Structure 1
Amino acid sequence: MISNTSDRIKLPQGFWTGLRQLGIAAQDVARKAGLPLTIITELVVTTTQYFAIWQAYSDLIGDTAKGIIELATVYETAKYPPSVLATYHARDYRDALSRMTRYKQLCPPESLRITEEGEHCVIELEWLYTEQSGPPLLIGITLANLLELGRRGTGQSLTAQLVEFTQAMGDVQALEAYFGCPVRIGAKSNRLTLHRKDLDLPFLSYNEELLEILTPVLNESLGEQQSIRSVTEKVKWIMKRCLTGGQPDIHSVAKVLNMSDRTLQRRLTDENTSFKLLLTQAKHEQALEYLADPSLDIKEVAFLIGYEDQNSFYRAFRIWEDDTPSNWRAEHLGANSMSENANTY
C-alpha cells in the first residue's frame, strides 16, 4: 500500500455521486481524462490523475463557471470527509475557516492562507509542495466551497467582497451572481476576500460534542504528518511530494522549510548527508513504492518520480537495484502473492 506521504490524494467518498447528480457519468470522466476505468473505484489518486479528473469534468460540463456553481451547490454536506465535515460543526465562521485551513494539510494538493485586516478577510489559495497549478475549475470550486461553508453554516446568504483568479474561468457574470461580488480575471493570485464582520456569525450546525470526538482524531492525524523531526526526513518528504512536477531543486525545498539555501545545505551536512543524495534516495524509495502498486504501469512510475524519459528511469533503477523495474516488480509481487496465499491456510 502506498503511503500518505507520497504523491497520493484522497478523493472524497461522494465525489463521483456529486458528478452523477449533475448528469455526468464517472466512466465518461475517466475516459475524458485518459485514465483507466478502475480509477473510479480508487480511494486515492496521484496529483496528475487528480488534476486530469478535474479537467475532464470541466471539459464535459462545457463552462468552467457552470461547473463551479453547480457542484458547489449540489454537493451534500454529509458526504464530505471528516476533516471537512468538522468545519461545518464549528462555533462560528471564523472557527470554521481556521479549521479548514488547518485540516487542508491532510488533503493536498491545495493549501489556504488566511489574513484578516481592517474590514477584510483574504483567503489565498496556494499549492502544497508543488509548482504545478491545478485546473481553473478546481481553483474555483475550492474558493466557492469556502463561501458555501459560511452560507450553510450560518444559514444566511453571505456574499464575498471580491474574488480573484489568475486564469480564465468561463462565464464571469454567472460567477459574480454566485459570489455576490466582482470577479477579477488575470490576477496575480487566486483569492477570496470576505467581509470580516461575517466571520463572527455563529454556526447553526455548531456541535460541541461532535467536535470533541472529531478534533482529537484529526489533530492526531495532522500531528503524525508533522512529527517528522530531522531535516533529512523533512527534505525527503517534500521531495517526494514534488517529484511529479519535475526534479525539485534546493531553492524550492528551502523555501518550503522557510530556510535559506545555505542554511539548508549546512543542516544537511550536519546530518551527514547532501541534497543530491537525498534526491536519489527519494526517487529510489518512491520507485519501489509505486512498482509495488500493480495498477501503475512502468511508464507511469517513471513519470511519477520525475523522469520524462523511460530509458533514464531504467538506467537509474539498474544502479539502485541491479535489476530492471519489470523484473523487480514480477519478483516482489509474486513473493507477496505467495505470502498472502500461505497466510490463508
Structure 2
Amino acid sequence: MMLNSAKYIKFPFGFWSGVQQLGIAPAEIARQARLPLSIIKEPKVSAAEYFAVWQAFEALAPDIAEGITGLVTSFETVHYPPDVLATYHARDYRDALHRMARYKQMCPPERLNIAEEGADCIIGLEWQHSEVPVPQILVGVTLAYLLELGRRGTGQAIKARAVEFSHPAVDVAALEAYFGCIVQTGTGRNRLILRRSDLDLPFTTYNEELLAILTPALDRTLNEQQGSPTVAETVKWIIRRSLMGGHYDIQAVARELNMSDRTLQRRLREEGASFKQLLTQARHEQAREYLSDPSLEIKEVACLVGYEDQNSFYRAFRIWEGATPARWRLEHTVQQEDGVFCK
C-alpha cells in the first residue's frame, strides 16, 4: 500500500559517519549496492536507491544485531537535523514520539502508528513502498532509535516491554540486551512496545525557546506537502498531545507556534474557531478514546484529559454525550460486542 506519494527519501543524518565507525567504508556500501559513489553525498534518494543502500549495509555488517545497535548508538545528537532536534528537545517522551511520528511524514519511507492501550504504548511500523523488501537491519535501526531517543532525552536507561520483528532469525540475545526485554522474531509485524508510564518522563534536553523556532518552520514544510492544514487543526494537534502534561493554555501553544497569543486568537477567529472550542473538542475526543480502553479507570481518564477534579470531568462529559462516562463506556462496549461501530 502506498502511504505517501513522496518521490524521494531522506537519508538518516549521520548514517554514513555511523557506518564508518562500525568499520565499513561508505564506498564499499555504494559498490555493494551497485550505485555511483555520488550517492554518499546525496541528501535525498529514490526509494529503490534507499533500500539498496540499507541492503548493502546489511550484507556488509559482520552481524545484523551489532549493525543495529552500533549504528543507533553512534549517532551524535549535536549534529541532528531540525526535524530530529524537535524531538530530542521535546517536553517529554510522549511529546517526542508524537513529534517523530508527525515529522516523519515529511520524508518517508516509514510511518509510525502510536497507540496507548492499558499499561502499554504500542508503536507499529508501516512502510510506504511495500513492493520493495524492507531490509531487516533498517527495521531494527528504526525501532531501536525510538528507544534510544527516550534514553537520551530522559537520561534514564528505559527498557522496552517487548519488541516484535517480522523477519525470522537474528542474534536475538544481543537485541534483547539492548532493548532490555524479550525480542520475538518471525511475527509478521514490526512493533516496539513501551511502558506507558515511561512516556510521562520529562526530557532533560527540553528546550522551549528552540522549539518555538523549529516547530513553526517544520509545520509549514509539512503543511505545504499535505495541503496546508488549518491553524485550528494544528492547534488541536498540539493540545491533544499536551493535555496530560497541563501545557495546553493559549500562551504555551502560541509560543510553540512562534506567535503571540493575540495573533493566534486572531488567526483562529479568521477560521471560525476559538482556543476554548478547540480545547473542548480535544478533551472530548481524547475522553472517548480513553474510555474505549476498559483497563483505564474513569478517574484516570479525567486526569489524562486535563481535569484535576473528577466531578468537573463528569459534568463536562454529560454535556458532550448526554450520559455519564460510566454509562457511555457500558453502551460503547455493548455496541462493539454486537458489531456496531460507535461514532
Q: What's 2:174 paired with?
A: 174
Q: Is the 8 A contact 2:22 2:67 kept in 1?
A: no
Q: What's 1:80 paired with?
A: 80
Q: Deviations over 1:53-85 (max 9, x none)?
A: 111111111221110010111111123321112
Rounded Cα–Cα distance in structure 1 between residues aligned with 2:109 and 2:102 = 13
Q: What SS does the corresponding residue of 1:160 show, helix, strand or coil?
A: coil
Evaluate the alpha carbon distance shift between residue 49 and residue 175 of structure 1 in structure 2; reply closer, same or farther with a 3 A threshold.
same
Q: Is the 8 A contact 1:12 1:79 kept in 2?
A: no
Rounded Cα–Cα distance in structure 1 between residues aligned with 2:204 and 2:90 = 9
Q: What SS does the corresponding residue of 1:141 show, helix, strand or coil?
A: helix
Q: Is the 8 A contact 2:6 2:108 kept in 1?
A: no
Q: What's 1:57 paired with?
A: 57
| 2:208 is equivalent to residue 208 of structure 1 | yes
Q: CA deviation at 1:107?
A: 2.1
Q: Is the 8 A contact 2:51 2:134 kept in 1?
A: yes
Q: Deviations over 1:113-135 (max 9, x none)?
A: 00001100000000136443410
Rounded Cα–Cα distance in structure 2 between residues aligned with 1:151 and 1:143 = 13
- Report the residue type matching 1:150 in the other structure: G
Rounded Cα–Cα distance in structure 2 between residues aligned with 1:138 and 1:169 = 15
Q: CA deviation at 1:21?
A: 1.6
Q: CA deviation at 1:13?
A: 4.1
- Report the residue type matching 2:225 in the other structure: Q
Q: What's 2:92 paired with?
A: 92
Evaluate the alpha carbon distance shift between residue 25 and residue 129 of structure 1 in structure 2; reply closer, same or farther with a 3 A threshold.
closer
Rounded Cα–Cα distance in structure 1 between residues aligned with 2:36 and 2:81 = 24
Where structure 2 has 5 or more consecutive residues not aligned to the other structure, the ranges are 230-343
| 2:121 is equivalent to residue 136 of structure 1 | no
Range that drifts further, 35-44 or 214-223: 35-44
Q: What's 1:223 paired with?
A: 223
Rounded Cα–Cα distance in structure 2 between residues aligned with 1:225 and 1:19 = 31
Rounded Cα–Cα distance in structure 2 between residues aligned with 1:129 and 1:24 = 27
Rounded Cα–Cα distance in structure 2 between residues aligned with 1:196 and 1:106 = 26
Q: How does 1:241-280 map to 2 (within 5 A)?
A: none
Q: CA deviation at 1:39?
A: 1.0
Q: CA deviation at 1:11?
A: 1.8
Q: What's 2:250 paired with?
A: none
Q: What's 1:238 paired with?
A: none
Q: CA deviation at 1:15?
A: 1.9
Q: Is the 8 A contact 1:122 1:192 kept in 2?
A: yes
Q: What SS does the corresponding residue of 1:116 show, helix, strand or coil?
A: strand
**Aligned-pair RMSD on alpha carbons?**
1.7
Rounded Cα–Cα distance in structure 1 between residues aligned with 2:51 and 2:106 = 17
Evaluate the alpha carbon distance shift between residue 87 and residue 170 of structure 1 in structure 2; reply closer, same or farther with a 3 A threshold.
same
Q: What's 1:158 paired with?
A: 158
Q: How does 1:18-37 map to 2 (within 5 A)?
A: 18-37=18-37
Q: Is the 8 A contact 1:90 1:203 kept in 2?
A: yes
Q: What SS does the corresponding residue of 2:102 show, helix, strand or coil?
A: helix
Q: Deviations over 1:234-284 (max 9, x none)?
A: xxxxxxxxxxxxxxxxxxxxxxxxxxxxxxxxxxxxxxxxxxxxxxxxxxx
Where structure 1 has 5 or more consecutive residues not aligned to the other structure, the ranges are 230-345
Q: What's 2:249 paired with?
A: none
Q: Is the 8 A contact 2:15 2:71 kept in 1?
A: no
Q: What's 2:236 paired with?
A: none
Rounded Cα–Cα distance in structure 1 between residues aligned with 2:129 and 2:60 = 29
Range that drifts further, 41-50 or 124-133: 124-133
Q: CA deviation at 1:41?
A: 1.8
Rounded Cα–Cα distance in structure 2 between residues aligned with 1:97 and 1:133 = 26
User: What's the % identity of the aligned pairs?
Assistant: 60
Q: Is the 8 A contact 1:109 1:127 kept in 2?
A: yes
Q: What's 2:115 paired with?
A: 115
Q: CA deviation at 1:112?
A: 0.3
Rounded Cα–Cα distance in structure 1 between residues aligned with 2:152 and 2:15 = 19
